[in-house]
Chains A and B, each alone.
Chain A
Amino acid sequence: MPQTATTEPDRARLIARIRREFDIVEDQLSFGGRRLAFVRVADPDKVLDDVCEQDTLRERGVQPKRELRMPYWAAVWESASALGEHLAAHDRERPLAGLNALDLGCGMGMVGAVMAMLGARVTLADIDTAGLLFARLNTLPWAAQARVTRLDWQADDLAGRFDLICGADVIYDVTQWDAIGAFARRHLAPEGVLLLGEPSRVNANNFPAWLTDSGWTFTATERPCGDRTIRIYEARTAPVSPAVVARG
Protein backbone atom coordinates (compact mmCIF):
# COMPACT_ATOMS: atom_id res chain seq x y z
CA MET A 1 0.00 0.00 0.00
CA PRO A 2 1.47 3.38 -0.92
CA GLN A 3 2.40 5.70 1.88
CA THR A 4 0.46 8.90 1.94
CA ALA A 5 2.47 12.09 1.98
CA THR A 6 1.05 13.07 5.36
CA THR A 7 2.69 10.12 7.10
CA GLU A 8 6.23 11.14 6.10
CA PRO A 9 6.71 13.89 8.70
CA ASP A 10 5.09 11.59 11.29
CA ARG A 11 7.55 8.88 10.36
CA ALA A 12 10.56 11.15 10.59
CA ARG A 13 9.42 12.50 13.98
CA LEU A 14 8.75 9.03 15.33
CA ILE A 15 12.09 7.70 14.13
CA ALA A 16 13.89 10.65 15.69
CA ARG A 17 12.05 10.02 18.96
CA ILE A 18 12.94 6.31 18.94
CA ARG A 19 16.58 6.99 18.02
CA ARG A 20 16.98 9.13 21.12
CA GLU A 21 16.74 5.89 23.11
CA PHE A 22 17.43 2.98 20.77
CA ASP A 23 19.61 1.96 17.86
CA ILE A 24 17.38 0.62 15.12
CA VAL A 25 17.50 -1.35 11.88
CA GLU A 26 14.90 -1.79 9.18
CA ASP A 27 14.23 -5.28 7.83
CA GLN A 28 12.55 -5.93 4.50
CA LEU A 29 10.23 -8.83 5.27
CA SER A 30 7.81 -10.76 3.13
CA PHE A 31 4.48 -12.22 4.22
CA GLY A 32 2.46 -14.10 1.64
CA GLY A 33 4.45 -12.37 -1.07
CA ARG A 34 3.73 -8.89 0.30
CA ARG A 35 6.60 -6.77 1.48
CA LEU A 36 6.68 -5.30 4.95
CA ALA A 37 9.32 -2.80 6.03
CA PHE A 38 9.79 -3.54 9.71
CA VAL A 39 11.83 -1.38 12.05
CA ARG A 40 13.21 -3.11 15.12
CA VAL A 41 15.75 -2.68 17.89
CA ALA A 42 19.22 -3.36 16.47
CA ASP A 43 20.52 -5.03 19.62
CA PRO A 44 17.98 -6.33 22.16
CA ASP A 45 20.83 -7.29 24.53
CA LYS A 46 21.71 -3.62 24.86
CA VAL A 47 18.13 -2.83 25.89
CA LEU A 48 18.22 -5.59 28.52
CA ASP A 49 21.59 -4.42 29.83
CA ASP A 50 20.20 -0.90 30.06
CA VAL A 51 17.18 -2.10 32.05
CA CYS A 52 19.51 -3.99 34.41
CA GLU A 53 21.65 -0.92 34.82
CA GLN A 54 18.65 1.27 35.61
CA ASP A 55 17.48 -1.38 38.07
CA THR A 56 20.83 -1.12 39.85
CA LEU A 57 20.69 2.68 39.80
CA ARG A 58 17.15 2.58 41.20
CA GLU A 59 18.48 0.80 44.27
CA ARG A 60 20.68 3.85 44.74
CA GLY A 61 17.69 6.17 44.40
CA VAL A 62 17.91 7.13 40.71
CA GLN A 63 14.46 7.17 39.09
CA PRO A 64 14.28 4.95 36.00
CA LYS A 65 13.30 6.37 32.60
CA ARG A 66 10.20 4.20 32.56
CA GLU A 67 8.71 1.29 34.45
CA LEU A 68 11.35 -1.43 34.68
CA ARG A 69 10.52 -4.88 33.48
CA MET A 70 12.14 -7.50 31.28
CA PRO A 71 12.22 -5.94 27.80
CA TYR A 72 10.46 -8.78 26.01
CA TRP A 73 9.20 -6.20 23.54
CA ALA A 74 12.70 -5.52 22.20
CA ALA A 75 13.16 -8.87 20.46
CA VAL A 76 11.23 -10.27 17.52
CA TRP A 77 9.99 -13.65 18.73
CA GLU A 78 9.83 -16.48 16.23
CA SER A 79 6.16 -16.99 17.08
CA ALA A 80 5.42 -13.51 15.72
CA SER A 81 7.01 -14.32 12.36
CA ALA A 82 5.16 -17.65 12.29
CA LEU A 83 1.79 -16.07 13.13
CA GLY A 84 2.33 -13.41 10.47
CA GLU A 85 3.10 -16.10 7.90
CA HIS A 86 0.11 -18.15 9.04
CA LEU A 87 -2.25 -15.19 8.65
CA ALA A 88 -0.86 -14.27 5.23
CA ALA A 89 -0.96 -17.88 4.02
CA HIS A 90 -4.64 -18.25 4.96
CA ASP A 91 -5.75 -14.81 3.84
CA ARG A 92 -7.31 -16.10 0.64
CA GLU A 93 -9.79 -18.45 2.32
CA ARG A 94 -10.14 -16.33 5.47
CA PRO A 95 -9.54 -12.72 4.50
CA LEU A 96 -8.54 -10.26 7.18
CA ALA A 97 -9.88 -7.27 5.25
CA GLY A 98 -12.47 -5.42 7.30
CA LEU A 99 -12.00 -7.51 10.43
CA ASN A 100 -11.54 -5.88 13.81
CA ALA A 101 -8.32 -7.41 15.11
CA LEU A 102 -6.15 -7.16 18.21
CA ASP A 103 -2.42 -7.86 18.50
CA LEU A 104 -2.20 -8.77 22.20
CA GLY A 105 1.27 -8.23 23.63
CA CYS A 106 2.32 -6.69 20.33
CA GLY A 107 5.90 -5.77 21.20
CA MET A 108 7.22 -3.91 18.16
CA GLY A 109 4.06 -4.81 16.28
CA MET A 110 4.96 -7.43 13.70
CA VAL A 111 1.70 -9.39 13.82
CA GLY A 112 -0.37 -6.21 13.98
CA ALA A 113 1.48 -4.74 11.01
CA VAL A 114 0.82 -7.88 8.96
CA MET A 115 -2.87 -7.75 9.88
CA ALA A 116 -3.06 -4.07 8.93
CA MET A 117 -1.27 -4.76 5.66
CA LEU A 118 -3.89 -7.42 4.91
CA GLY A 119 -6.67 -4.90 5.49
CA ALA A 120 -7.78 -5.44 9.09
CA ARG A 121 -8.64 -2.65 11.48
CA VAL A 122 -6.01 -3.31 14.11
CA THR A 123 -5.42 -2.48 17.75
CA LEU A 124 -1.84 -3.11 18.88
CA ALA A 125 -1.52 -3.41 22.65
CA ASP A 126 1.34 -4.05 25.03
CA ILE A 127 2.17 -3.33 28.65
CA ASP A 128 5.54 -1.88 27.65
CA THR A 129 5.26 1.56 26.10
CA ALA A 130 8.72 1.50 24.50
CA GLY A 131 7.60 -1.23 22.11
CA LEU A 132 4.49 0.79 21.27
CA LEU A 133 6.65 3.48 19.64
CA PHE A 134 7.86 0.82 17.20
CA ALA A 135 4.34 -0.59 16.80
CA ARG A 136 3.14 2.86 15.78
CA LEU A 137 6.02 3.30 13.37
CA ASN A 138 5.57 -0.13 11.81
CA THR A 139 1.85 0.43 11.19
CA LEU A 140 2.22 4.00 9.98
CA PRO A 141 1.47 3.12 6.33
CA TRP A 142 -1.96 2.00 7.58
CA ALA A 143 -2.35 4.60 10.33
CA ALA A 144 -6.01 5.20 9.49
CA GLN A 145 -6.86 1.62 10.43
CA ALA A 146 -4.41 1.08 13.28
CA ARG A 147 -4.43 2.22 16.89
CA VAL A 148 -1.75 1.59 19.45
CA THR A 149 -2.44 1.44 23.16
CA ARG A 150 -0.87 0.44 26.45
CA LEU A 151 -2.63 -2.54 27.98
CA ASP A 152 -2.20 -4.61 31.11
CA TRP A 153 -4.40 -7.61 30.26
CA GLN A 154 -4.63 -8.45 33.97
CA ALA A 155 -6.23 -5.12 34.81
CA ASP A 156 -7.41 -3.18 31.77
CA ASP A 157 -10.22 -3.43 29.26
CA LEU A 158 -10.35 -2.14 25.71
CA ALA A 159 -13.39 -0.58 24.08
CA GLY A 160 -15.09 -2.76 21.50
CA ARG A 161 -14.99 -6.42 20.55
CA PHE A 162 -12.64 -8.18 18.19
CA ASP A 163 -13.20 -10.72 15.45
CA LEU A 164 -9.62 -11.87 15.92
CA ILE A 165 -7.25 -11.68 18.88
CA CYS A 166 -3.66 -12.70 18.10
CA GLY A 167 -0.97 -13.40 20.66
CA ALA A 168 2.59 -14.32 19.68
CA ASP A 169 4.32 -16.21 22.49
CA VAL A 170 2.13 -14.84 25.28
CA ILE A 171 1.38 -18.16 27.05
CA TYR A 172 4.88 -18.92 28.37
CA ASP A 173 3.74 -18.20 31.92
CA VAL A 174 1.19 -20.75 33.15
CA THR A 175 0.06 -18.35 35.88
CA GLN A 176 -1.11 -15.93 33.15
CA TRP A 177 -3.34 -18.36 31.25
CA ASP A 178 -6.47 -17.60 33.25
CA ALA A 179 -5.98 -13.85 32.85
CA ILE A 180 -5.39 -14.16 29.11
CA GLY A 181 -8.41 -16.43 28.71
CA ALA A 182 -10.65 -14.11 30.70
CA PHE A 183 -9.43 -11.10 28.75
CA ALA A 184 -10.07 -12.86 25.43
CA ARG A 185 -13.58 -13.88 26.51
CA ARG A 186 -14.42 -10.29 27.42
CA HIS A 187 -13.08 -8.95 24.13
CA LEU A 188 -13.97 -11.47 21.46
CA ALA A 189 -16.96 -10.82 19.24
CA PRO A 190 -19.42 -13.69 18.89
CA GLU A 191 -17.73 -16.22 16.57
CA GLY A 192 -14.44 -14.44 17.26
CA VAL A 193 -11.15 -16.33 17.16
CA LEU A 194 -8.21 -16.37 19.57
CA LEU A 195 -5.06 -17.19 17.61
CA LEU A 196 -1.93 -18.00 19.62
CA GLY A 197 1.58 -18.93 18.55
CA GLU A 198 3.92 -20.81 20.91
CA PRO A 199 7.37 -22.29 20.17
CA SER A 200 6.75 -25.80 21.54
CA ARG A 201 8.16 -25.16 25.00
CA VAL A 202 7.54 -27.81 27.61
CA ASN A 203 5.87 -25.35 29.98
CA ALA A 204 3.01 -24.93 27.49
CA ASN A 205 2.45 -28.67 27.05
CA ASN A 206 -0.67 -28.51 29.23
CA PHE A 207 -2.14 -25.60 27.30
CA PRO A 208 -4.44 -27.76 25.11
CA ALA A 209 -5.87 -29.40 28.26
CA TRP A 210 -6.29 -25.99 29.84
CA LEU A 211 -8.16 -24.72 26.76
CA THR A 212 -10.58 -27.64 26.94
CA ASP A 213 -11.05 -27.34 30.71
CA SER A 214 -11.73 -23.62 30.31
CA GLY A 215 -14.51 -24.17 27.79
CA TRP A 216 -12.67 -23.35 24.56
CA THR A 217 -12.86 -25.38 21.39
CA PHE A 218 -9.68 -25.27 19.36
CA THR A 219 -7.54 -26.64 16.59
CA ALA A 220 -3.76 -26.84 16.83
CA THR A 221 -1.44 -26.75 13.84
CA GLU A 222 2.33 -26.68 13.59
CA ARG A 223 4.37 -24.31 11.52
CA PRO A 224 8.11 -24.77 11.00
CA CYS A 225 10.14 -21.64 11.73
CA GLY A 226 13.91 -21.98 11.41
CA ASP A 227 14.95 -25.02 13.49
CA ARG A 228 11.84 -24.78 15.59
CA THR A 229 8.23 -25.78 15.37
CA ILE A 230 5.71 -23.13 16.29
CA ARG A 231 2.41 -24.44 17.61
CA ILE A 232 -0.54 -22.36 16.47
CA TYR A 233 -3.76 -22.60 18.45
CA GLU A 234 -7.00 -21.34 16.95
CA ALA A 235 -9.55 -21.19 19.76
CA ARG A 236 -13.20 -20.24 19.99
CA THR A 237 -15.45 -19.84 22.99
CA ALA A 238 -18.64 -20.91 21.25
CA PRO A 239 -19.16 -24.65 21.30
CA VAL A 240 -18.95 -26.32 17.88
CA SER A 241 -22.41 -27.44 16.85
CA PRO A 242 -22.70 -31.26 16.57
CA ALA A 243 -24.30 -30.83 13.14
CA VAL A 244 -21.21 -29.01 11.87
CA VAL A 245 -18.92 -31.72 13.23
CA ALA A 246 -21.06 -34.44 11.59
CA ARG A 247 -20.85 -32.72 8.22
CA GLY A 248 -17.07 -32.39 8.63
Chain B
Amino acid sequence: MTDVATPADQINAFIAKTIEENPVVLFMKGVPDAPQCGFSAICVQILDHLGAEFVGVNVLQSDDLRQGVKAFTDWPTIPQLYVKGEFVGGSDIIRQMFEAGELKPFLVEQGVLPG
Protein backbone atom coordinates (compact mmCIF):
# COMPACT_ATOMS: atom_id res chain seq x y z
CA MET B 1 0.00 0.00 0.00
CA THR B 2 1.16 3.52 -0.71
CA ASP B 3 2.13 5.77 2.14
CA VAL B 4 -1.15 7.43 3.12
CA ALA B 5 0.09 9.88 5.73
CA THR B 6 0.38 12.64 3.13
CA PRO B 7 -1.34 15.91 2.20
CA ALA B 8 -5.00 16.07 1.24
CA ASP B 9 -4.52 15.96 -2.53
CA GLN B 10 -2.42 12.81 -2.30
CA ILE B 11 -5.03 11.25 -0.03
CA ASN B 12 -7.69 12.15 -2.58
CA ALA B 13 -5.59 10.59 -5.33
CA PHE B 14 -5.15 7.45 -3.23
CA ILE B 15 -8.91 7.16 -2.63
CA ALA B 16 -9.73 7.84 -6.29
CA LYS B 17 -7.18 5.24 -7.43
CA THR B 18 -8.42 2.66 -4.94
CA ILE B 19 -12.07 2.94 -6.00
CA GLU B 20 -11.10 3.04 -9.66
CA GLU B 21 -8.92 -0.06 -9.55
CA ASN B 22 -11.21 -2.12 -7.33
CA PRO B 23 -14.85 -2.71 -8.26
CA VAL B 24 -16.01 -3.03 -4.65
CA VAL B 25 -14.29 -1.11 -1.86
CA LEU B 26 -15.29 -0.87 1.77
CA PHE B 27 -13.67 1.92 3.75
CA MET B 28 -13.92 0.55 7.24
CA LYS B 29 -12.57 0.49 10.75
CA GLY B 30 -10.22 -2.45 10.95
CA VAL B 31 -9.71 -5.04 8.23
CA PRO B 32 -12.24 -7.53 6.80
CA ASP B 33 -10.84 -10.38 8.90
CA ALA B 34 -10.90 -8.24 12.05
CA PRO B 35 -13.33 -5.33 11.86
CA GLN B 36 -12.91 -2.88 14.73
CA CYS B 37 -16.51 -1.72 14.95
CA GLY B 38 -19.88 -3.41 14.69
CA PHE B 39 -21.04 -1.23 11.81
CA SER B 40 -18.03 -2.18 9.70
CA ALA B 41 -18.48 -5.81 10.76
CA ILE B 42 -22.09 -5.87 9.51
CA CYS B 43 -21.03 -4.60 6.08
CA VAL B 44 -18.29 -7.24 5.86
CA GLN B 45 -20.78 -9.95 6.87
CA ILE B 46 -23.30 -8.82 4.24
CA LEU B 47 -20.72 -8.66 1.44
CA ASP B 48 -19.31 -12.06 2.47
CA HIS B 49 -22.81 -13.52 2.66
CA LEU B 50 -23.53 -12.35 -0.90
CA GLY B 51 -20.20 -13.72 -2.04
CA ALA B 52 -19.00 -10.31 -3.25
CA GLU B 53 -15.27 -9.88 -3.58
CA PHE B 54 -14.18 -6.60 -2.09
CA VAL B 55 -11.19 -4.65 -0.87
CA GLY B 56 -11.34 -3.40 2.70
CA VAL B 57 -9.40 -0.23 3.47
CA ASN B 58 -8.73 0.42 7.12
CA VAL B 59 -9.25 4.15 7.79
CA LEU B 60 -7.78 3.79 11.27
CA GLN B 61 -4.29 3.42 9.76
CA SER B 62 -4.09 7.19 9.24
CA ASP B 63 -6.12 10.13 10.44
CA ASP B 64 -5.45 11.90 7.13
CA LEU B 65 -7.06 8.96 5.35
CA ARG B 66 -10.05 8.98 7.71
CA GLN B 67 -10.58 12.70 7.15
CA GLY B 68 -10.00 12.31 3.42
CA VAL B 69 -12.57 9.54 3.06
CA LYS B 70 -15.16 11.66 4.86
CA ALA B 71 -14.49 14.68 2.65
CA PHE B 72 -14.38 12.64 -0.56
CA THR B 73 -18.16 12.48 -0.84
CA ASP B 74 -19.16 14.63 2.14
CA TRP B 75 -20.19 11.55 4.10
CA PRO B 76 -19.30 11.95 7.77
CA THR B 77 -19.24 8.35 8.99
CA ILE B 78 -17.37 5.09 8.47
CA PRO B 79 -17.94 2.49 6.96
CA GLN B 80 -18.54 3.58 3.37
CA LEU B 81 -19.15 1.29 0.43
CA TYR B 82 -18.05 2.16 -3.11
CA VAL B 83 -19.08 0.10 -6.14
CA LYS B 84 -17.58 0.77 -9.58
CA GLY B 85 -16.09 4.00 -8.35
CA GLU B 86 -19.32 5.41 -6.93
CA PHE B 87 -20.45 5.88 -3.35
CA VAL B 88 -23.31 3.55 -2.41
CA GLY B 89 -23.79 4.30 1.26
CA GLY B 90 -22.90 3.71 4.87
CA SER B 91 -23.78 0.73 7.02
CA ASP B 92 -27.48 1.52 7.47
CA ILE B 93 -28.05 1.97 3.73
CA ILE B 94 -26.18 -1.27 3.00
CA ARG B 95 -28.22 -3.10 5.61
CA GLN B 96 -31.52 -1.65 4.37
CA MET B 97 -30.69 -2.54 0.76
CA PHE B 98 -29.71 -6.04 1.85
CA GLU B 99 -32.82 -6.56 3.97
CA ALA B 100 -35.01 -5.23 1.14
CA GLY B 101 -33.37 -7.76 -1.20
CA GLU B 102 -32.00 -4.92 -3.33
CA LEU B 103 -28.28 -5.21 -2.70
CA LYS B 104 -27.66 -8.46 -4.57
CA PRO B 105 -29.51 -7.38 -7.76
CA PHE B 106 -27.65 -4.05 -7.55
CA LEU B 107 -24.27 -5.79 -7.37
CA VAL B 108 -25.25 -8.14 -10.20
CA GLU B 109 -26.41 -5.19 -12.28
CA GLN B 110 -23.08 -3.47 -11.63
CA GLY B 111 -21.33 -6.60 -12.90
CA VAL B 112 -19.45 -7.21 -9.66
CA LEU B 113 -21.39 -10.35 -8.73
CA PRO B 114 -22.35 -13.22 -11.05
CA GLY B 115 -26.07 -13.26 -11.86
Contact = CB atoms under 8 A, between A and B. Distances in A.
A80 B100 CA distance: 29
B5 to A, nearest CB: 17
Chain A, interface SS category: helix
Nearest to B42: A55
- In which size bucket is the chain B interface? 20 to 34
Given A71-B77, A202-B87, 7 more contacts: A44-B76, A45-B66, A52-B38, A199-B74, A201-B73, A201-B87, A202-B86
Interface of B: 29, 36-39, 66, 70, 73-78, 86-93, 96-97, 100, 102
B91 to A, nearest CB: 7
A70 B92 contact: yes
Interface in A155-210: 169, 172-173, 175, 199, 201-203
- In which size bucket is the chain A interface? 20 to 34
Given A55-B37, A70-B92, A175-B97, A78 B29 contact: no
Q: Name which of B75, B87, B88, B96 has the most chain A CB atoms within 10 A of its CB.
A: B75
A203 B74 contact: no
The 6 lowest CB-CB distance pairs between A and B, nearest first, are: A75-B76, A52-B37, A202-B86, A55-B38, A199-B74, A70-B77
Given A175-B97, A175-B100, A74 B76 contact: yes
